[in-house]
Structure 1
Amino acid sequence: MDNDLPPFAMIEFFFGDCDAALTIMSRGKRFHVFLTTEDLRGPQEDEALVQTFHSFRKSIDDDPQAMEAFEEWMLKPCVSYMNQLAPSIPRVEPPSLAEYFNPETFFLKLAKKEGRLEAIRCPVDPSVTHSLTPRVLMPDPIVSEAISEGVPCIPASQLVAILEPDAHEADYDLVPNTVRAIGRDTQFHFKGAFEQKSFRRELDTLLRFRSDSFPGDLFVSRLGGLVTWDDGLSVMGLLVEYVHGSETLGYAAEEAPKAEKEKWARQIRATVKRLHDANITWGDVKPDNVLIDPNGDAWVIDFGGGCADGWVDQELEGTKEGDLQGLAGIESFLEITAVGHEARET
């Protein structure tokens, strides 16, 4: 990407037929950049920039480099604003969750001026900033249940992102996934409450895993706590216990022997059967939602629902049938015949 662009991390991206928008973090500031084909035409009704827009639109699904080129096309007119509003400063410590999700935010509209694309600063749109902020109010029934059961509540200002020692400047602007409490070494996986339905589903499932019906020898995600906004009125997300030294099934399977793959398939299918016996569905079944720990055991993770193309048919989302379809896909991915027939459900 162009060297004139300051370091940044992509947060959100939308590309419609007649408009586009992207949100980035750069040096601790958030920028929301948007355009419409009407603004690209300008008063002279010139189609040159519109044609460029549609050219990107046609190629972006098939050409991996088209996405990066389109990002650069949208962001290059914003460089002067980015350098002015987010000046380069030494980043000594990673941000807290409170700092990261409540940054100063700037809105820039792209429009045609004198035949070229130019950025224009606009007022902040509260509806957009709201959509970028993970938040569920405390009176939510599932949140109230978690608190009544003694789930730890940790203020977002007390949780910081964990970065590698050789982290680049742009890494400080990535959405925090792995966090720890200030002054402590225990790591957690952070999941923000961006989609309330998904958040409630996962929290409800993880609360059920705290019961005696799901002992510690069941390899599933475990709830580590709730992350609260510092106003004490709402929840930012949840913490999942971190599986140290793990990698996703997709990576682990690349060089694993057949016997190891068969073991993982048996473990995954047995875990899902125990979930189904308790009337719990996994939902988003795919290799990325299986972790292999250093002991070679397969963990089933991510209970927020949804489904990925090619793994579970949309009409089967959130059903036991969908889980079984996804399991068959995982076994096919592992290049083994179906295992654990005794665990299959009828």
Structure 2
Amino acid sequence: MNSELQDLPCNKYGGYSDKHQAVIFIVCLMIQYQIETRQADLEDTSLWDEHIDVEQLLDKDPRAAYRSGAVDALQTKIIRHCRPVIERFGLKSQDKARTLDEYHRMPTCRLRLTQVDGQIQPLVVSGPVSDGWGPNGLHATNFTNIHVPDGIAYHPSTDLWIQLDDDLLPPFIRGEIKSTDGKRYFFKPNDTDEQFLRETNILLKIFELGLARKIRTSNIAALVYTDDRTNIIGVLIEWNDARQIGDMMKTATHDDLARWKTQVLQSVEKLHQNEIVWGDVNLGNILIDADSNAWVVDYGGLYNPRFVDEENCETKVGDLQGVQRVFAHLAWEIDNRLTGASDGAFNHS
């Protein structure tokens, strides 16, 4: 964030704009804000002139617009105009950790910039009020009709702590989280119903079948609930210190790659035997542990078109196609490292 806001711990997590309006989403001092700017309110101001200039840059070359700093500079000015309201509503201090429950229940405030006596002022449209949706869409899904096998643990969101490196609350709560007793977990949030339910149902099936004892894959530790055990806002997965396979390419050999590929194919075969489709074959979803063994993780679905053709998305064929292409890409990376080549790009076709 611009130096003018360094003492105001704000974190942007989204937004959209066109020639007539713009919306920025930020988290600041334990409140999430939706800040709107509209042509009808600001048309005769230098701020709106800058908005039009930025929109023209975005239309021409979005990446260049962001790299130039023009988008960030405009958003910083918009947030600065809202500073009086943010400081009035925000907490005056923050601990270095917050519970997941606090994050989930973070109140939302809608602001709109308008003109009052020729001065740009923030208008409070609504809030702050807790509406059950945390930043980036974190919310609860009722699990009354979801089959949850016996033995699955439930963990309250009030007993899970978000780890902060500074005063900035992250816009996405995904990854390391700790319980009150200090145990580490990997937290997967309920931020998109379809993908979250797909992954959770697969993790529950893996648990019920005992597959996590037979192959190296994600093992669910608990469902995370708020209010009561039917309202699920995420899942806890047993912590794994393994590294993404792509991070191993500086030292990996072709022999390493062959062994890891065999291990991944064995895991995928076991999944397929139990009618489970991995569904998201990707460099980030193959992990290598301290004993140099390969793990298969992440069942959220979707696909990476670099490795899986669209028509094979979330199919057994797609899983196998993806594994072949991922390891072909990694072999190409090793070849480039050994030969000193740096030009060109991998072509999986």
TM-score exceeds 0.5: yes
Give the corresponding residue for 1:55.
56
Structure 1 counterpart SS, 2:97: coil
* Counterpart contact for 2:104–2:132, Cα < 8 Å: no
The CA deviation at 1:272 is 1.6
Check if 1:8 corresponds to 2:10. yes
Give the corresponding residue for 2:341.
none
Query: Structure 2 CA distance, aligned partners of 1:313 and 1:70?
Result: 39
- 2:31 corresponds to which letter in structure 1? K
Give the corresponding residue for 1:186.
183
Query: Structure 1 CA distance, aligned partners of 2:161 and 2:114?
Result: 38
- Of residues 250, 268, 292, the one that matches 2:264 is 268
Give the corresponding residue for 1:161.
162
* Counterpart contact for 1:11–1:175, Cα < 8 Å: no
Unaligned residue ranges in structure 2 (runs of 5+):
334-349
Give the corresponding residue for 2:83.
79
The CA deviation at 1:174 is 5.6
> What do the CA deviations read for 1:226-246 (whole angstroms, capped 9, x no partner)?
1111244411111111102x2
With over 3 angstroms needed to count, the CA separation of the structure-2 counterparts of 1:295 and 1:17, relative to structure 1, is farther
Give the corresponding residue for 1:236.
233
Structure 2 counterpart SS, 1:209: helix
Check if 1:138 corresponds to 2:143. yes
Check if 1:296 corresponds to 2:282. no
Structure 2 counterpart SS, 1:95: strand
Query: Structure 2 CA distance, aligned partners of 1:153 and 1:191?
Result: 14
Query: Structure 1 CA distance, aligned partners of 2:194 and 2:23?
Result: 24
* Counterpart contact for 1:25–1:174, Cα < 8 Å: no
Query: Structure 2 CA distance, aligned partners of 1:219 and 1:68?
Result: 42
Query: Structure 1 CA distance, aligned partners of 2:230 and 2:133?
Result: 18
Q: How does 1:1-346 map to 2 (within 5 A)?
A: 1-5=1-5, 6-15=8-17, 18-41=20-43, 48-58=49-59, 59-62=61-64, 64-65=66-67, 66=69, 68-89=72-93, 91-111=94-114, 119-124=122-127, 129=133, 132-139=137-144, 141-142=145-146, 145-146=147-148, 148-163=149-164, 167-171=165-169, 175=173, 177-182=175-180, 184-212=181-209, 214-244=211-241, 246-336=242-332
Query: Structure 2 CA distance, aligned partners of 1:233 and 1:205?
Result: 18
Per mean C-alpha deviation after superposition, the further-off stretch among 98-107 and 326-335 is: 326-335
The CA deviation at 1:200 is 1.5
Query: Structure 2 CA distance, aligned partners of 1:152 and 1:62?
Result: 48
The CA deviation at 1:311 is 3.0
Structure 1 counterpart SS, 2:217: coil
With over 3 angstroms needed to count, the CA separation of the structure-2 counterparts of 1:206 and 1:242, relative to structure 1, is same
Number of residues of Structure 1 aligned to a counterpart in Structure 2: 326
Give the corresponding residue for 1:343.
none
- 1:9 corresponds to which letter in structure 2? N
Structure 1 counterpart SS, 2:197: helix
With over 3 angstroms needed to count, the CA separation of the structure-2 counterparts of 1:312 and 1:191, relative to structure 1, is same
With over 3 angstroms needed to count, the CA separation of the structure-2 counterparts of 1:233 and 1:220, relative to structure 1, is closer
* Counterpart contact for 1:21–1:34, Cα < 8 Å: yes
RMSD: 3.2
The CA deviation at 1:97 is 0.8
Structure 2 counterpart SS, 1:219: coil
With over 3 angstroms needed to count, the CA separation of the structure-2 counterparts of 1:75 and 1:196, relative to structure 1, is same
TM-score, normalising length: structure 2:
0.80
> What do the CA deviations read for 1:269-304 (whole angstroms, capped 9, x no partner)?
222222222221111211112222111122111101
* Counterpart contact for 1:157–1:230, Cα < 8 Å: no
- 2:266 corresponds to which letter in structure 1? A
* Counterpart contact for 2:132–2:139, Cα < 8 Å: no
Query: Structure 2 CA distance, aligned partners of 1:99 and 1:60?
Result: 35
- 2:327 corresponds to which letter in structure 1? E
Structure 2 counterpart SS, 1:304: coil
With over 3 angstroms needed to count, the CA separation of the structure-2 counterparts of 1:118 and 1:247, relative to structure 1, is farther
The CA deviation at 1:188 is 1.1
Per mean C-alpha deviation after superposition, the further-off stretch among 47-56 and 294-303 is: 47-56
Query: Structure 2 CA distance, aligned partners of 1:16 and 1:275?
Result: 45
Structure 2 counterpart SS, 1:25: strand
The CA deviation at 1:308 is 3.0
With over 3 angstroms needed to count, the CA separation of the structure-2 counterparts of 1:85 and 1:255, relative to structure 1, is farther
Query: Structure 2 CA distance, aligned partners of 1:27 and 1:320?
Result: 46
With over 3 angstroms needed to count, the CA separation of the structure-2 counterparts of 1:178 and 1:213, relative to structure 1, is closer
TM-score, normalising length: structure 1:
0.81
- 1:194 corresponds to which letter in structure 2? D
The CA deviation at 1:191 is 1.1
The CA deviation at 1:202 is 0.9
The CA deviation at 1:157 is 0.6
Query: Structure 2 CA distance, aligned partners of 1:23 and 1:203?
Result: 28
